[in-house]
Amino acid sequence: MSNSSETQALGRLFVISGAQAAGKSTVGQALAAGLTRAVFIDGDTVDGVVVSGSEPMTEPATVGAVEQLFLRYAGALTLADVYRSAGFDAVIADNIFGDFLDDFLVLAAPEPLHFVMLTPSIDAIYEREEARRKNAYRDGITVEGLVDTIERDTDRVGLWLDNTDLSVAQTITTILQRQDEALVDTAEFEPESAEADPVR
């Protein structure tokens, strides 16, 4: 509800993905902090609103876990839209790879977004995982398996950035300098009918 007679410009949407411990949340939050007017939305935070009946992601994934993942994606995008409609840029950080990337882009359609896949080395992921003292790799999910899914089974859309030897500041600078490369036209992924809706 602005007093201005002009229509509020829609904020940009940045989406940061990568394996666990690739630096998504750190980079995403720092990117939002470096923009003039922006919000940061962490997929883990959205996931945390489920206080009972949560189904963790495993390998292989259960139907319930996949359904909750799509709800998590939809929730993050909805929250981003609330702020973007008020002129804020929004930065989402989440685990979006493999076939789930296409599903996420369908949910985001037809809004364009800047998609960044962080691809540090396996050794760097192990080092970062140990340093943050979190247990992200469990229930059959391994660093090698996840990196393989990203490298082999994920569409090469947006900007893929090896941040193994980049500081957080250098990573953000690179993303902003190359944001045109990161731009994805999600209208290409928009379902032609309700039958194609990934939330099923």
Domains of the chain by range and CATH?
Answer: 13-189 (3.40.50.300)
What is the per-residue pLDDT for 138?
Answer: 67
Q: Is the dihedral of CA 66, 69, 71, 73 positive or negative?
A: negative
Local confidence band at 1 (pLDDT 50, 70, 90 cut-offs): very low
What is the per-residue pLDDT for 192?
Answer: 66
Q: What angle do CA 133, 117, 60 make, to 5 degrees?
A: 65
Instruction: Give phi and psi for 10, each to the nearest 5.
Output: -75, 130
For residue 116, which amino acid is it?
Answer: V
Alpha helices in the chain (DSSP H): 24-34, 43-47, 63-84, 99-108, 122-132, 143-153, 168-177, 179-182
pTM for this entry? 0.88
How many Cβ atoms sit within 10 Å of the Cβ of residue 155?
15
Is residue 45 within 8 Å of 24, Cβ to Cβ?
no
Q: What angle do CA 103, 16, 145 make, to 5 degrees?
A: 70
